[in-house]
């Protein structure tokens, strides 16, 4: 794990310095470099993300958690990360207004996906309250 963070930090620092140098001559290439490095970092972490998902599924199976709820929660987390990643890239491109709309869209999709889980939680609470 420590080696992974060193790779990420090293690649990020090199890309940052290169982007600063290239930005003066070719700003478009500097932006593409930043996007490429961001995607590369994400791809470096795919294996660990997969391990985390498998671990969470094992824990959920042992706890007899309904897999539908677990899948929904994992999808919500994925949407949050994807929306954040896209918004940051859009902000780097100087398009803050579009980035705000990406974040808003992500939040609305997350809320829509969370409604069934919220409904079950509310129904469970209502059943626990004495009449």
| Residue range 28-56, pLDDT digits in tens | 899 899 889 988 998 998 889 889 989 99
Instruction: Provide the whole-model pTM.
Output: 0.77
- In the chain, % of residues over pLDDT 90: 61
Question: Would you tell me how many other CB atoms lie within 10 Å of the CB of residue 102?
Answer: 20
Helix (H, G, I), strand (E, B) or coil at 64: coil
Please say whether the dihedral angle defined by the alpha carbons of residues 103, 104, 110 and 113, taken in this order, is positive or negative.
Answer: negative
DSSP-derived secondary structure letter, 94: T
Task: Tell me the average pLDDT across 91-101.
Answer: 92
């Amino acid at each position: 794990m420590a080696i992974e963070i060193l790779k990420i930090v090293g690649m990020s620092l090199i890309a940052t310095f290169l982007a600063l140098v290239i930005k003066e001559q070719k700003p478009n290439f500097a932006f593409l470099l930043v996007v490429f490095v961001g995607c590369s970092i994400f791809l470096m972490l795919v294996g660990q993300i997969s391990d985390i998902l498998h671990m969470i599924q094992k824990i959920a199976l042992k706890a007899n958690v309904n897999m539908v709820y677990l899948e929904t929660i994992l999808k919500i987390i994925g949407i949050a990360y994807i929306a954040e990643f896209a918004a940051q890239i859009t902000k780097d491109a100087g398009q803050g207004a579009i980035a705000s709309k990406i974040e808003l869209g992500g939040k609305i999709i997350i809320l829509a996906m969370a409604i069934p889980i919220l409904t079950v939680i509310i129904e469970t609470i209502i059943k626990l309250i004495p009449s």
